[in-house]
Every structure is written in structure tokens, then in C-alpha cells.
Amino acid sequence: MRFFNMAGIAESGSAVSLFFIAMPLKYIGGNEILVEVIGPIHGFLWIIYIALLGIGYIRKEWNIRAVILGGFLSILPGGPIWLERRIQNEEYLPSIT
């Protein structure tokens, strides 16, 4: 799922820019415009990322452990990038029995 990788990188970039650029400017500098712009973009990218996790599970590309871990890591800035590198491991692939 190449689109999953791109969505993870975009979601991580939007989270970093929201948490470390826009929010400090809002609370320290009193300028809310970046939060009003980056916030909805980040929310949209996060929803896409979570939907792609579900699609990966439905298509039987990943097991439930990968989906739960991906949902948890989506909260952390950079978490989706870390997961993308780990999801290539066989432990996250569904077991064939």
C-alpha cells in the first residue's frame, strides 16, 4: 500500500507542524491563523490514515496487532513513519493457517 506510506508521512508532517509551529504561535504569539489552517488539514490526513489502516486489515494485508499499534502511534508525531518501517516485518502480516 504505497498510498499508506505517503499518508503516514503527510500525517506525521502535519502533526509536527501543528504541534511545534502552529500551536506555539497561537499560545505564545497570540496568532491563531496557522492553527485554523493546519488543524483541519491534519484532521483530514489523520482520518485518511486510520481508514487506510482499516483497509489494510480488511484486505488481510496486516493483522489486528498492526492496526491497533498503528492507531496508537497515529497519536504521536512521527509514529506513522515508525510503523511504516516496522509493518514490513513478517510479524505484522496475517498468519496463514
Q: Lowest mean pLDDT of 25-34, 66-75, 76-85, name the range.
A: 76-85
| Residues 56 and 4 sit within 8 Å (Cβ to Cβ) | yes
Contact predicate 63/70, CB 8 Å: no
Q: Does a structural domain hold residue 97? A: no
How many domains does one find in the chain?
1
> What value does the mean pLDDT take over residues 4-8?
86
Which range marks the domain in which residue 45 is found? 2-92
Predicted pLDDT at 91:
61
Mean pLDDT of 86-94: 63
Q: Report the pLDDT averaged over residues 2-26.
A: 90
Apex CA 45: angle with CA 41 and CA 47, to 5°? 120
Q: What is the mean pLDDT of residues 22-51?
A: 93
Q: Is residue 7 part of a domain?
A: yes
- Is the pTM higher than 0.85? The answer reads no
